[in-house]
Structure formats: C-alpha cells, structure tokens
Structure 1
Amino acid sequence: MSRIIKSCMQSILKGVNLIMGMVGIAMILYGFWMVRVWQRDMGGSSFDDFNSTAPWFIYTFLGTGITLCFLTCLGHIAADSANGFCLCCYMVIISVLLLVETAMAADVLLNSDWEKDLPEDPTGRFHDFKAFVQSNFDIFKWIGLLIILGQGLSVLLAMAIRALGPNQCSNYDSDEEFTPARLPLINNNAPQPAYVIGDSPFANKNEAWTTSK
C-alpha cells in the first residue's frame, strides 16, 4: 500500500513540475523574441556599441525561465529517484523562490512607487510587458496563483516522499528473492553418499577371472 501511495505522489510531483517547466519555456521563448526585437531596433549594432544601461529586463526574464526549467529537471530527478539530498535541495530552492515571489508581490501591492526602485530599461520591453499584463490582469492573476500553488504543493509532496524514504517498500519484494522452504516430492537426482563403499567379498567369478587374466 505504501508503495502505491509513494508512486502516486511521485507522479503528482512530476505533473506539478510540468507547470513550472512550461512557464519557464514560455519565458525563454519570449525572452529570445525580445532580444531579437531589440537587436532589430538597434540596427544590427553590437551590445558594446550601444551606449546605455544593460537590458536588465530581458536578462532577468531569460534567467527566470532558465531557473524554472532547471527546477523542473531537478524535481523530476528527485521524484524519480526519491533521493533525500535531491529532495532537500529541491525544497530549499523552491522555498527561497516562494519567499522572493512573496516579497516582490508585497512590494508591488504595498508600494505605489515600486517602479522607481528599478533601473531604466533601454529596450522599452518592460513597459510593453507591464501594459500587456494590465490589459489581461485577470488571466495573469490566475496564472500567478496557479504557479504559487504548484510550488507550494511541490514542497509538500517532496517532504512526503522524503518522509517515506527510498527503501520503504524493500520488504515487499517478489517471492523470487526467497529460496523455497520445501523440496519437491520426487527428486530424480538422488544425493550421493558421503562414504565410499568397498568391493563386495562375494564378487562374481567371471569378474574375478577377467581381472586376473
């Protein structure tokens, strides 16, 4: 029974990880698109020739997407192997990410001048993304809530899988590992006696004559 519960938890953890993986892939693709648009606006010049601040928003977007994809891979490996070290690393990283997301959400909601804390974005993609989020606020609200709930559920599932342990179901292996306690009724290969039987004193005369000859 414990093996079935553990297998279900591992499958659910892998499914929850897919949510973060899909979000990470979408962020990476959108980040590459922003890089392409920015290079087109620059007229094909290199990054060093563009005398302004770094495009921090694009780098942050790409870094966040890569981090989510890395967490997806780590969570899949930890759920599949049920290794205690991998599960601990996964829980710590997800917990830190949740704290960072909570702090950012609190700063946006409580601080009306939160945009002043950010450096200037030379690409203009930040303002475009902000306008897009504001125009589709209901959709992004549910997406953000789904991501946060998925991360919290991932931590709980990782804690439960770690509590069960990697060798929790080792005592319920198949009967093939155990030797049979009873022998078959008919055994064609009779065991050989441990002692040696000498020649019979009443040997056949023909055999004795053949030996002497």
Structure 2
Amino acid sequence: MGRILRSCLQSMLKMVNSVGGLVGVAFILYGLWMMRVWYREFHSDRTLPWFIYTSLGLGVSLCLITCFGHIAAETSNGHCISFYMVLIFLLVMLEAAITADVILNKDWEEDFPDDTTGRFNEFKNFIRSNFELCQWVGLTIVTAQGMSIFLAMILKALGPHRGSSYDSDDDSVNARLPLLRNQVQQGATYVCDPHVPYKSDSWNVR
C-alpha cells in the first residue's frame, strides 16, 4: 500500500511540475524569436536588450527547476526535495512581489529599464487585451507551484524508498554464506604430521 501511494505521489508531482517546464519552454522560444527579430532589424547593434535576456534566463531557470523536481520526485531524497521546495518557494515569492508591485504601484513601468525593441510594450498590450486568458494562465501556474510544494512535503514525510536497499542486503548476505561455510569447514580439518605416529580412536578414548 505504501509503495502504491508513493508511486501516485511521484506521478502527481511530476505532472504538476511539468507545468513550469512548459512555461519555461514557451519563454525560451519567445526569447529566441525576439533575438531573431532583433538581429534582423538591428544589424549594427549586437547587444541584446534586457527583455530578451530576461525571457531566456527565466525560461532556462524554469526548465532547470522542472528537471530538478523530476529528479527529486524520482529519487525521493529528502535533501533534494527540500532544495526543490526552497526553489519553488523563492519563485512564488518573486512572482508575488512583481504582482504586488504592478497592482499597488501606479508607476510600476518606471521600475523596469527602457526597452529599445518595443517588445515589452507589445507584451504589456497583449496582456491587457487578453487579461482574462492571462489571468487564468497565471492562476494555473501558481496553483501548480502550490501543489508541487504540497506534494513534495508529503513525499518527504514518507521518507526515501528502501525496498531496493533491503533486496541488495539480502543478496549480499546470501552471497557471503558459502564463504563462511567454507571457512568453517577449513577450520575443522586436521593436518597430520607424517613423522607423528597415527593413533587410533580407541587410544584417544583411553
């Protein structure tokens, strides 16, 4: 029963963790597309704007966190799960801080550097024109992150799976048994000196 529960939790953690990976891949593709447009329109300037670097960095970070989450779910190692939960928690705190700044601060656009590509303005206009869709996407991402932390906590509480280690211990004990028997049999043998006369059992009894 415990093995089935652990397997279900691992599968669920991998599933909700994959949401962050999909978002990361989307950010990477968007950043590569903006990089292509930038090099096509601005041949003389090889310095990429901050918005492109931010998209690529955020996408790579999300993909790395997703890969680490899959490793933590598969191994069920306590240290890996704890580090994964810390990463997800820091990511949620960063998202909450940016959301609070956008909602509470009317001049939040001044907190970001100037974007010479104009892609940042297009990104803002896209969010404003599709606010309901973006709201549902953001809610799905935050829910998946919260579920990841919750499932990771339960998986950590169950502890690592030791079934394989028990099997390996039994195999090693069985492998050592013939060697022990051989040692006992070798210890029970007697070495006879050819110069010492042989004594019969009746003589030993006397």
Q: TM-score range by the shorter chain?
A: 0.7 to 0.9
Report the equivalent of 1:25.
25
Structure 1 Cα separation of the partners of residues 158 and 44 of structure 2: 56
- Tell me which amino acid in the other structure corresponds to 2:158: L
Q: Call closer, same or farther: CA 1:46–1:113 in 2, change over 3 Å.
A: closer
Unaligned runs of 5+ in 1: 49-53, 180-193, 195-213
- Tell me which amino acid in the other structure corresponds to 1:6: R
TM superposition shift of 1:119: 1.1
Aligned residues: 177
The 8 Å contact of residues 3 and 169 in structure 1, kept in 2 or not, is answered as no
TM superposition shift of 1:169: 5.3
Report the equivalent of 1:100.
94
Counterpart mapping for 1:28-107 below 5 A: 28-42=28-42, 44-47=43-46, 55-107=49-101
The 8 Å contact of residues 24 and 58 in structure 2, kept in 1 or not, is answered as yes
Deviations 1:134-167 (A, max 9, x none): 1111111111000001111101111111111113
- Tell me which amino acid in the other structure corresponds to 1:69: C
Structure 1 segments, 4+ long, off by >3 Å, are 167-173, 176-179
Q: Call closer, same or farther: CA 1:161–1:149 in 2, change over 3 Å.
A: same
TM-score, normalisation: structure 1 = 0.75
1:14 has 2:14 as partner: yes
TM-score, normalisation: structure 2 = 0.78
Counterpart mapping for 1:115-154 below 5 A: 115-154=109-148
Deviations 1:64-95 (A, max 9, x none): 10011001100000000111111111010100
Which secondary structure does the structure 2 equivalent of 1:139 belong to?
A: helix
CA RMSD of aligned residues (A): 2.5
The 8 Å contact of residues 76 and 161 in structure 2, kept in 1 or not, is answered as no
Which secondary structure does the structure 2 equivalent of 1:121 belong to?
A: coil
The 8 Å contact of residues 23 and 62 in structure 2, kept in 1 or not, is answered as yes
The 8 Å contact of residues 27 and 61 in structure 1, kept in 2 or not, is answered as yes
The 8 Å contact of residues 2 and 169 in structure 1, kept in 2 or not, is answered as no
The 8 Å contact of residues 17 and 148 in structure 2, kept in 1 or not, is answered as yes
Larger radius of gyration: 1
